[in-house]
Structure 1
C-alpha cells in the first residue's frame, strides 16, 4: 500500500483532468489532496484499506443505509437532497448543484481492479496485469483549496503515435476459449462465463489527448481519466456497478449487444439467447444485492431496456434494494465486485474458469471506477476502458458465453465493442 503526497506524485495532468463521476460544477476547480495506491502483492485487504483511507478524508464508509425525510444521510450526518439524480452529494448546508467552497472536501475518485475485487472475496486474482505499474486500487481525495490551478496546455503536448496492436491471443485461441466454456456448461460446472481478450500497442508521445477522446465517447456515463506516475486509465463505461443514494443501492447490468441500426435493435429485442443470458445475470445481481439488502426489499426496476453506446445497442436492467442497517462500503464491494455481467454464474465458479483460461490479467478492465461523495457513491463497471503504462496502451473486450454461444460470433462481438475505443485512440 502506498499513500502518496499529491504535490510530489501526479502526472502533469493528474490534477487538471476531471475525475470520473466528479460533479460537473466542480470540474474546473477541484484539486487533489491525498492519494492511496495498492497493488497485488502489497499487504493488507484492499476493501479495508480503502475504507480507512476514505474515513480519514471525512467520507464515512461504515453505514450507508440511513435515510430520513427528504434527505439522504450517511454516517457522520452529511446530507443530500433526495432528488439528486446523479447521487453526487454536496457539503452540509449547501444547496443542491451549488459549487463547493474553498476548503470544502468535494469527494474521492476510486478505482478497484477486477484482481483487487477477487482478493476482497478470497478468490484467485488470475494472471498478471499486462499493464506494468498500474495499481489495483486507487483512491484520490479531492477538495477545493486556495492553490494555483495547473493550467492544461501551457506545455506543448508531444506528438502521439500509436503502433500496431498485438493481441494476447489469436482469434482461434479466443474461439477455443469459448468452446472450453461451452464444455464446462455441458458438464454443469457453470451456466455462463464472461470471456475477455486483451491487446496492446506501443506508443510515442503524450497519451492524454487520446485518452480524453476515449472518455468523451457518446454514451459514457463514467467518462473520465485517472492518472498517476507512469500510468493512466481512461473510461467510457455506460454500466453502473453500484450506486447508493437515499439509503438505496442499485446496480445496472448490461448484457446483450447488436449494431446500432433499426435491424440490430429489433434483433436484440427478439433474441431468446440474448434475453436468457441477460436474465441470468439479472438473477445474479438480485442475489448479490440480497447480501446487503433489507429483508424483502430487492426489486427489478427495469428489465431488458435497450440503450445506445457509440455504434452499438446494449440491453440493460436496473436492480435495486434498500440497504440493510449497518451496511457499509466494504460490504457493498464484497457483495457486488467483481460485477456479475463480467464474471458469470455462479460467480465463484465462473471466476475460477476465467483465472485458469485467460492468458493475461484484466488490468484496468472489468473493475470499478467512479466517485464517492459525502453520503453517496456511484461506481461504474470498467468496460470500454483503456490503460497506458510507460510503454504501451492496453485495451480489453469480451462477452458472456452461454451454451448457445457461437465461438466466431463471440470473437466478432468483442471486436465490435473494442472498435470505438481503438478509433478514439487513433484520433
Structure 2
C-alpha cells in the first residue's frame, strides 16, 4: 500500500528523524512527504514497486551510477526498510514462517523533504511508566540445538554448505517503547543505529553490518561472520579458528557472487579480509567487498542482488533459504533485513542484526548464527544468546 501524504504515522508526533545514514545537517529540519508500505500478502514485486515509488517522489533510483546532488528544494532522501521475508520474495524463495509482528510491513519507504524550521526534539528518556516483562523464547535451547543438527545433516547430504539459523523472543511491555528502541543506537559499534515508526509498530536498530552501500558508482558490502567474547583470549581464538575463518570466507565468496550480478565485469574485489572489530562485548570478523556498478543498475536490481543478506542466509543462498523456511518456527520480522537511507547520489543500508521491533504490547528480538559442519549445537545456542544480551539489557533499562 502507498501513502502519498505526510500523514503515514498520524498517531505519532513529529520528531527528529533518527534513520541510519540520514544527513546530519538535515536531521532537524526533515518532514515526511510520502510513505509506501508493502506486506508479503500484497503480492507483486516489492523491489520494482518501491523503486517506482521513490522515483515518483523525485529520487534518482533508476540508475545508481549517475551523479546526483543534494538539493534543498528537492527531496532530501528516504528511509528504506526491507524485511528478510521481502528479500526472500524478491529472489523467488519461500518467505518463511509468519512474522510475530504482523503490524510491521515487510517494506517501508518514507520520503523526507526539508521544513522551513526545525522540528521538535526527540522523545525524552523512558520514565517510571516503562516496564518490560520477562522474555519468552519461540523455541527452547534444545529445539535450537536440534535445528543446528538438522543443518549439519543437510550439509552431510550435500544440500547446503552453510545455513544461518535464527531464533526469536518477545516480552510484554507498558509505556512508550520508542525511547527504549532509540537507546539501541548508543550501543558500541552500532554503525546503523536508528529507529523508524509507523501506526502500530516501531523498530530500533543497533547493527554494525553494512548490507550494501553505493557512492560515486561503487558498491560495497561488509559481511560479518565469526564471533568471540571481547577479551584478549577471545580475539586470539577468533583469529586462530579454522572453523570461523572457513565459515567467513564462504560468505565472502557468496557476497562476491552477489555483487557480480550488478557489477562491471572484472571489477569485484575483496578490499579487506577477516578484520576483527568490536560490537559491545563481542569480537566479530568483518570483510569488505566492493565493485564498480554496471551502467544502468537501479535500486530494484540492487535489492534483488543483495537481499536477503548472505551472512544471515547461507550458501548456496536459495538452498539456505529453503532450509530456513523449513526449520525456523517464527518469522524473522524486523531481523535479518535491510534498514537505512536512500538519497540523491548515495545509498547506505545496514543489515538488521541486533534489531528490535515493537507492536501494540510486545517487544521482539532476533538472534542467531551461521551453521557449518563443524558447528557445535550448544556453542551455537550460547552465541545467539550472547548476541541478543546487550539488546535485551538496554531495552529493559528504565
Q: Shorter-normalised TM-score: what interval?
A: over 0.9
Look up the match of 1:185. 155
What per-residue deviation string (whole Å, max 9, x for no partner) do you get for residues 94-153 of structure 1?
xxxxxxx4x442110100000011111111101100013001000001111226724445
Normalised TM-score (structure 2): 0.96
Q: Does 1:57 align with 2:27?
A: no
Which of 81, 91, 99 is matched with 1:111 structurally?
Answer: 81
Q: Matches of residues 219-230 of structure 1 in structure 2 within 5 Å?
A: 219-230=189-200
Q: Does 1:396 align with 2:366?
A: yes
What per-residue deviation string (whole Å, max 9, x for no partner) do you get for residues 392-411 of structure 1?
10000000000000000000
Cα 1:247–1:356 change in 2 (3 A) is same
Q: CA deviation at 1:333?
A: 0.7
Q: CA deviation at 1:17?
A: 3.8
Q: CA deviation at 1:8?
A: 5.8
Cα 1:155–1:285 change in 2 (3 A) is closer
Look up the match of 1:267. 237
Normalised TM-score (structure 1): 0.90
Q: CA deviation at 1:7?
A: 3.0
Q: CA deviation at 1:14?
A: 5.7
Separation of aligned partners in 2, 1:15 and 1:59 = 23
Separation of aligned partners in 2, 1:14 and 1:137 = 21
Q: CA RMSD in A?
A: 1.6
What per-residue deviation string (whole Å, max 9, x for no partner) do you get for residues 204-245 of structure 1?
011111111112211111110100011000000010000111
Partner of 2:135, secondary structure, is: strand
Gaps of 5+ in 1: 67-72, 80-89, 92-100
Gaps of 5+ in 2: none
Partner of 1:164, secondary structure, is: coil
Q: CA deviation at 1:325?
A: 1.2
Task: Please tell me whether the aligned partners of residues 301 and 318 of structure 1 are also in contact (alpha carbons under 8 angstroms).
Answer: yes
Q: CA deviation at 1:11?
A: 4.3
Q: Does 1:328 align with 2:294?
A: no
Cα 1:8–1:270 change in 2 (3 A) is closer
Task: Please tell me whether the aligned partners of residues 307 and 316 of structure 1 are also in contact (alpha carbons under 8 angstroms).
Answer: yes
Task: Please tell me whether the aligned partners of residues 15 and 32 of structure 1 are also in contact (alpha carbons under 8 angstroms).
Answer: no
Which of 309, 316, 331 is matched with 1:339 structurally?
Answer: 309
Q: Does 1:194 align with 2:164?
A: yes
Q: CA deviation at 1:416?
A: 0.3
**4+ runs deviating over 2 angstroms:** 4-17, 146-158
Q: Does 1:138 align with 2:108?
A: yes
Partner of 2:37, secondary structure, is: strand
Partner of 2:176, secondary structure, is: coil
Task: Please tell me whether the aligned partners of residues 242 and 251 of structure 1 are also in contact (alpha carbons under 8 angstroms).
Answer: yes
Separation of aligned partners in 1, 2:366 and 2:126 = 30
Separation of aligned partners in 2, 1:238 and 1:419 = 15
Cα 1:153–1:175 change in 2 (3 A) is closer
Separation of aligned partners in 1, 2:271 and 2:183 = 33
Look up the match of 1:281. 251
Q: CA deviation at 1:10?
A: 3.9
